[in-house]
Structure 1
Amino acid sequence: MQIEELIIKFKQMGYESMEFELFHDELTESGMQMWVKESRVIFLKEYEAKSLFLDWYISEQPIIASIYNYLPSNYKNNIYFFMILNFDLSKDEGLALSINKVVKDEYVCKKYVFQSVDEITDVPFLSDQFIKMPQFDYDQEFKSGILNFNTINELTGEEKEDLDSFYSLANNLLDYYFTSYSVLEETSKFEKDILKIGNRSVINED
């Protein structure tokens, strides 16, 4: 899981990035972010190596504890630390014990460890919001962006007459890309499929 996935969800839920000038250098050097909504503060950090994750209590916890002393009282009971793991976990059985230890440690703040963005439903105050949010279809958005490019480049005359033909071909090609090309190994097979798609699109137009 990458930090950008959770940031997208935060923005959709109305959280805003917070700059804490007094500890700006410490936060920047640690790669930690602060997100705020109403009276809740969430610290966010992505770990790209196990060794970095295991040092959280030496590197990140002291920063959070220091910032805690400067926060208004209404924030102090609503501080959380979200730790995102972006490294291979499959070959490390002992890591589960380390994660469990982190989650149980509530010194200064409550901590959550994420391996997938779907695990955000484990957080009580975010689960309802997450479930109600429409899921983002990246493939469909990409296709729509390409197929609707004419909204910023208005077509007229003969070009406009060919638009339906273009849509048919482009849509078939994009469908093929998202469902087949990623698993094909032979270039010749790919080229043949492209020709078939083009011919099918022409036939459909006729």
Structure 2
Amino acid sequence: MVVEDDVTMRQLVTNYLEENGIRTTSAARREEVLGSLARHGPDIVVLDLRLGYEDGLDLLREIRAQSDVPVIIVTGHRRDEIDRVVGLELGADDYLTKPFGLRELLARIRAVLRRRDAVPAKRDEKGLWRFGTWQLDRRTRRLASSCGEHTPLSKSEYALLTAFLDAPQRPLSREYLLQATRVHEDIYDRSIDVQVLRLRRKLEADPSAPAIIRTERGVGYVFALAVERL
């Protein structure tokens, strides 16, 4: 699905993709996007963040709340770094800046789809993970303390936590964690440090002296607690 409010550009992109064997739908406004997402279930979305009077980042949030469909975001110019970073942190899989070549767009679409198809089968989302004084319900994605208080997790925080819980007490590189949280490799690897800091603030008694997510110098991070799967 191509989301673009410029009629000429939208037609150019959809025609090119169709000519190269990719069945394509298009949309220009929020209502069309969400309706098409529900009806057609596209394999990938190409989303222009500059949609006239609508906020493309808000639309990306709504897409992510509704679906895990891969998203390639398009930004207005190469200096528009903030939108790219925010878009990737919200769950976009790749980005392009205007002007871009149609061949590059096609190559990026195919690359994202290949990465999606290469992902191992989704883990069993039933049951619970227990670690320290915390418990994570995989069905509802709810994190609870031992006293029953729930702590909300963003999509990226949940993805990062599950990456740690899948490999407890093992050093994990920043590159591995970036892939696990679907942050684009072109972003500096310190962006994973920001995500770890946010997660520490929710898990650690003292985030400035972390005992659960420890820094492994020269490697990345290690989840120090044992994990019990229920």
**TM-score clears 0.5:** no
> What band does the TM-score fall into relative to the shorter chain?
0.3 to 0.5
* TM-score under structure 2 length normalisation: 0.31
Higher strand proportion (structure 1 or 2): 2
More helix by share: 1
Kindly name which structure, 1 or 2, has the bigger radius of gyration based on alpha carbons: 1
